[in-house]
């Protein structure tokens, strides 16, 4: 797993004139700049780690000495370069490996060797995840509203499964997901859901559904992990992030002793990050009407995560927003070492579920809403995390707060 950050620098225009050489005309007459190319860089003051932003630079050349080569020094030892045959806007992207402040310099050189440069200081800030599950349905408009939120927010996009209704087929991904949340495909780290596995596992007659979750893996490609497993992990700043796969709806695939549960334990044992986030589709705890308040089939996953001191779990599947207090795998509250679960099945793809009017006995649910589509914005900082539920346009429900990382129970 490689930490990466895509830095996009746009918005605030930092205009820095290039230094240039001035040659005097004979006889002490007029002077004019020669060999200098004024360069302008447009950049935001900062961007979250792994946010896909684009650096933009412009230049001019009164001699029109094409072609022009350009070089971008990203300030971390990496460079980008290219050439232009006409005076045009320069776009470049880069993946940083860690947070921090860096000086980025763009240099443009024309065919005669005249050059100009401009620099801007940018900061790579704490990583942000933009999260919701149960996303795209061509017969509904909720996913259009949440997709518009994503257009305005920086961060990594995480669809928490059931990403293209009803069956996760290639056609549904292309017609329903791609025009909405698919606008953010380049910055997406997906999670598989049970509807995604309708294609090729439970229904092999749909076009293109020749293998389990063929539409999901075909659309997201390498970002979705190995199609034979569907689980993966990565480092994000000071956090270890684990994506698990319950989408097959076969508990044998994630029970104690299963290859996935053993992989999970191995990953947790081999990483030393202080903070751990895990994400998969099906929640263990629920307050949805007529559903079990604690489901048995993710017990082994929760047991492993709790033993290794995981801090936060995100799920979809329940079409509502439910935030729970930190708790043990058996559902008893544990403020010292418990795992907080937040279920965010509010991506807009389906009708929201009704929640129990009164909390089930022993439930640690703290905040619930079943009327609002929206996105959970999660900031992962050193030693803790901040969450904020961002509602779709016209809605008013929101929820926000902070939590701290705690390490393993003794």
Mean pLDDT computed over 54-67: 92
Other C-beta atoms closer than 10 Å to the C-beta of 114 total: 19
Mean pLDDT computed over 312-325: 97
Can you give the C-alpha Rg of the chain in angstroms?
Answer: 25
CATH number of the domain at 79, please. 2.60.40.10
Q: Is residue 287 part of a domain?
A: yes
Mean pLDDT computed over 246-254: 95
Give tens-digit pLDDT for 26-53.
333 323 333 489 999 987 777 788 875 6
Task: Choose the final residue of a domain: 125, 140, 175.
Answer: 125
DSSP 8-state secondary structure symbol assigned to residue 277: E
Of 96-105, 162-171, 209-218, 261-270, the least confident = 96-105
Q: Range of 144's domain?
A: 128-404
Q: What is the mean pLDDT of the chain?
A: 89
Q: Quote the pTM value.
A: 0.84
- For 317-351, letters b (16+ CB in 10 Å) and e give bbbbbbbbebbbbebeebeebbbbbbbbbbbbbbe
| pLDDT value for 100 | 87
* Of residues 379, 387, 315, the one with CA closest to residue 154: 379
Task: Choose the final residue of a domain: 99, 125, 151.
Answer: 125
Instruction: Examine the pLDDT at 107 and tell me if it is beyond 60.
Output: yes
CATH number of the domain at 208, please. 3.60.21.10
Task: Choose the final residue of a domain: 73, 93, 125.
Answer: 125
Give tens-digit pLDDT for 113-131.
999 999 988 888 999 999 9
Mean pLDDT computed over 123-150: 94
Structural domain tally of the chain?
2
Of 34-48, 105-119, 133-147, 392-406, the least confident = 34-48
> Residue 238 has which token pair?
């000071």
Q: Is residue 410 part of a domain?
A: no
| pLDDT value for 283 | 97
**Rounded-to-10 torsion of CA 277, 283, 284, 285:** 110
How far is 339 from 385, CA to CA, in rounded Å? Answer: 13
| pLDDT value for 97 | 77
| pLDDT value for 94 | 86
């Amino acid at each position: 797993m490689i930490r990466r950050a895509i830095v996009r620098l746009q918005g605030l225009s930092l205009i820095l004139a290039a230094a240039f050489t001035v040659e005097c005309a004979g006889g002490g007459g007029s002077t004019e700049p020669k060999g200098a190319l004024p360069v302008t860089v447009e950049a935001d003051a900062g961007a979250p780690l792994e946010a896909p932003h684009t650096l933009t630079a412009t230049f001019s050349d009164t001699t029109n000495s094409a072609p022009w080569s350009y070089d971008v020094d990203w300030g971390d030892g990496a460079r980008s370069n290219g050439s232009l045959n006409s005076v045009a806007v320069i776009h470049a992207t880069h993946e940083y490996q860690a947070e921090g402040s860096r000086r980025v310099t763009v240099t443009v050189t024309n065919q005669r060797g005249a050059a100009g440069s401009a620099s801007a200081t940018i900061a790579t800030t704490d990583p942000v995840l933009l999260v919701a599950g149960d996303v795209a349905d061509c017969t509904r408009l909720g996913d259009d509203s949440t997709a518009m939120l994503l257009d305005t927010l920086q961060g990594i996009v995480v669809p928490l499964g059931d990403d293209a209704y009803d069956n996760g087929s290639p056609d549904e991904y292309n017609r329903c997901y791609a025009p909405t949340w698919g606008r953010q495909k380049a910055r997406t780290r997906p999670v598989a859901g049970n509807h995604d596995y309708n294609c090729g596992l439970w229904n092999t007659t749909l076009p293109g559904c020749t293998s389990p979750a063929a539409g999901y893996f075909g659309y997201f490609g390498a970002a979705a992990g190995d199609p034979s497993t569907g689980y993966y992990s990565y480092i994000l700043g000071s956090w270890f992030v684990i994506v698990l796969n319950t989408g097959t709806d076969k508990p044998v695939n994630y029970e104690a002793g299963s290859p996935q549960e053993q992989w999970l334990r191995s990953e947790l044992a081999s990483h030393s990050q202080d903070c751990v986030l895990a994400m998969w589709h099906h929640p263990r705890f629920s307050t949805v009407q007529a559903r079990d308040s604690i489901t048995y089939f993710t017990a082994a996953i929760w047991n492993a995560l709790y033993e290794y001191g995981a801090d936060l779990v995100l799920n979809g599947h329940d079409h509502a927003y439910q935030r729970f207090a930190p708790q043990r795998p058996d559902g008893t509250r544990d403020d010292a070492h418990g795992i907080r679960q937040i279920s965010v099945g509010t991506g807009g793809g389906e009708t929201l579920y009704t929640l129990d009017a009164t909390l089930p006995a022993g439930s640690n649910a703290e905040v619930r809403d079943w009327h609002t589509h929206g996105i959970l914005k999660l900031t992962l900082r050193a030693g803790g995390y901040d969450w904020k539920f961002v509602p779709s346009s016209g809605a008013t429900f929101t929820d926000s707060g902070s939590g701290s990382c705690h390490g393993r129970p003794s």
